[in-house]
Amino acid sequence: MRTSLIALTALLLAPTAAFAHPVKHKPAAAARGIVSSADPRASEAGREILRAGGSAADAEMAMMLALTVVEPQSSGIGGGGFFVYQQAGGKLVTIDGREKAPASATATRFLGAEGKPMSMFQAAPGGKSVGVPGNIRLMAMVHKRFGKLPWKALFAPAIRLAEQGYTVTRPMAAGMGFVSQVWGAFPAISAQYTRDGKPVAEGALVKNPDLAKTLRLIADKGPDAFYTGEVAQAIVTAATTAPRNPSDITLADLAAYQAKERPPICGSYRGYKICGMGPPSSGAVTVLQILGMLERFDMKKLGADNPVSWHLIGEAMLLAYADREKYLGDSDFVSIPLKGMTDKAYLKARSMTISPDKALGVYEAGTPPGAEPRTAAISSEVAGTTHFVAVDRAGNVGTMTSTVEGPFGSQLLAGGFVLNNELTDFTFAPEKNGAPVANRVEGGKRPLSSMSPTIVYDAKGRPVFTVGAAGGKTIIMQVAKALIAHIDWGMDARAAIGQGLVYFSGTTLILEEGTSLPPMKPAIEALGHKVSVAKLGLKANAAQRTKRGWVGAADPRSVGVALTE
């Protein structure tokens, strides 16, 4: 299953058939504001808002809405996200807009008739995988606290795109090519995205009047128009009458949803402060664990072209992900040893098991200070998701990761937007060896996520770098790798996110095809690793502070762009 999920990720996020030949984009330098997203139309929406005098938060929300229209395979108002915002000269705020399970959900939600976990492809399509969407409540909280423009103004670019139409990108076409095989059972999405029985082709013009109507309603009446009334009813009807896996979601579930401000998770690396989102995101904790285990090694001296560097990164990755699977979940439901997992002494002890000369071979979770007995269990998380950043002329920095989970989420549409399949991010088996799993399904719970919106600060406390990514559980590694590339290897934002990646399947290291890593395969194998080479669908966005001001960057693998105000 894991191999198939990696292949799916690569298919959905790779913008070209020849993945080894990425799209070339120049980074955008900013004497004033900048934006970066995974789609040019969304970036333009963000720039439009900045030019109208909007804040970075306003630009972020406008991009989230625009991506609902032009990148429906990845994100939108039918899903959720995490928002990290550094106010100029002020407080760092992290807001959780992660989807929630219906109140009636139980731990056996994704078990089949024989009590065995369903496969992802059995569980994802249809209503049972749909979580209560969080992005509009997140947007309302963000706008109330940090917005400068009227609420309604943020919807204008997205409404225009939905009404006037947009052309299909190669990533969107690739996503449709994969999942449209099941659309015969899902008439609404088939009607929107197929012509003469075939998915709309790359370059075709698509209009979405139903989505334009929904966006106008929310723009006019505010966020409650999403969580109550006709939009909420459309969500409930679509999910509960789904032809596959009908849901138990209710109008009460939607009306009760609230976004939450969470304490940020921060740590240090090479004199820099690195901050991100806490649970139910596993991003910041796992990124900090990887960096913490690498800190005793001279990664700068080793360099990006040294197989030992990637061996060490691989070892830290495997150990950190082992902790992730065992301890992390929704902190409203399970006790998480957050301080222990990022404790310098604990990470140093974990690091001391890593040798620069030989692979460990076995990668088990440690016992961080404050940990309660827990059973490790692998969680599912597949391709989808998008990331976008904005910096305004005042110096506010926003970075957000948004998702509907897999390609086109649950394959259900309501009001023209895709409903997420986010509940398949729960671990399907509620217990293992008689002990409970931290990320098991529970009513009202938010599933564990790998989304990792991150801001880096220099020794003076100034934000100097921000990054986030898409691509399921590879997100954590994309962010960690970008930070190593930027801080240790001196790469600028675009080069750091464009640098090749090492990931894993079981204990096998996967080197990203079409990058500088595959030629290192024999040397890494000589250190005791099993190694394979594969396409990894990666898609990151970043920005960095330079002497000329902020510079935005989009992943050279993607169709995204960074724009200056």
DSSP secondary structure, 81-110, as one string: EEEEEE-TTS-EEEEEE--B--TT--TTTT
- Residuewise pLDDT in 10s, the chain (565 residues): 344 444 444 444 444 332 223 334 455 544 689 999 999 999 999 999 999 999 999 999 999 999 999 999 999 999 999 999 999 999 999 999 999 999 999 999 999 988 899 999 899 999 999 999 999 999 999 999 999 999 999 999 999 999 999 999 999 999 999 899 999 999 999 999 999 999 999 999 999 999 999 999 999 999 999 999 999 999 999 999 999 999 999 999 999 999 999 999 999 999 999 999 999 999 999 999 999 999 999 999 999 999 999 999 999 999 999 999 999 999 999 999 999 999 999 999 999 999 999 999 999 999 999 998 887 766 666 667 999 999 999 999 999 999 999 999 999 999 999 999 999 999 998 887 777 889 999 999 999 999 999 999 999 999 999 999 999 999 999 999 999 999 999 999 999 999 999 999 999 999 999 999 999 999 999 999 999 999 998 999 999 999 989 999 999 999 999 999 9
> How are beta strands 531-534 and 508-512 bridged, if at all?
parallel
**Distance from the Cα of residue 61 to its chain's centroid:** 16
Asked, as a colleague might, if the bond just before 280 is cis with ω within 30 of 0, I would say yes
Which residues are known catalytic residues? 385
CB-facing half-sphere around the CA of 494: CA atoms within 13 A: 20
pLDDT of residue 1: 39
d(CA 139, CA 257): 13
Helix/strand/coil percent split, the chain, to 5: 35, 20, 45
Ordered DSSP codes for 481-511: HHHHHHHTT---HHHHHHS--EEEETTEEEE
Question: What is the predicted pLDDT for the residue at 114?
Answer: 84
Other C-beta atoms lying within 10 Å of the C-beta of residue 194: 15
Task: Give the pTM.
Answer: 0.94
- Strand order of the β-sheet with 502-505 is 502-505, 508-512, 531-534
Confidence (pLDDT) at 92 = 98
Q: What is the pLDDT of residue 32?
A: 86
pLDDT of residue 288: 98
Cβ contacts of residue 274 below 8 Å, gap of 6+? 266, 267, 268, 284, 287, 288, 291, 454, 455, 456, 457, 483
How many of the other CB atoms lie within 10 Å of CB of 514? 17
CA atoms within 13 A of residue 422's CA, in its CB half-sphere: 35
Q: For position 380, what pLDDT does the model report?
A: 65
DSSP reduced 3-state for 277? coil
Query: Around Cβ 196, how many Cβ atoms within 10 Å?
Result: 5
Determine contact, residues 372/365, Cβ cutoff 8 Å. no
- Reduced to 3 states (helix: H, G, I; strand: E, B; else coil), residue 391 is strand
527 phi/psi in degrees, rounded to 5: -85, 0
Spell out the long-range contacts of 298-304 with Cβ–Cβ below 8 A and sequence spacing 24 or more.
299/484, 299/488, 299/489, 300/488, 300/489, 300/490, 303/489, 304/485, 304/489, 304/491, 304/499, 304/516
| Other C-beta atoms lying within 10 Å of the C-beta of residue 305 | 12
What tokens appear for 234 in the block?
């459309």
Phi, psi (deg, nearest 5) at residue 97: -115, 30
Closest alpha carbon to 225 in 235, 217, 216, 233: 217
The predicted pLDDT at position 247 comes to: 98
pLDDT confidence of residue 24: 43
- Check if the beta carbon of residue 543 is closer than 8 Å to that of residue 56: no
> Looking at residue 346, what is its pLDDT?
98
Distance CA 221, CA 331 (A): 33
Alpha carbon distance 299, 309 (integer Å): 7
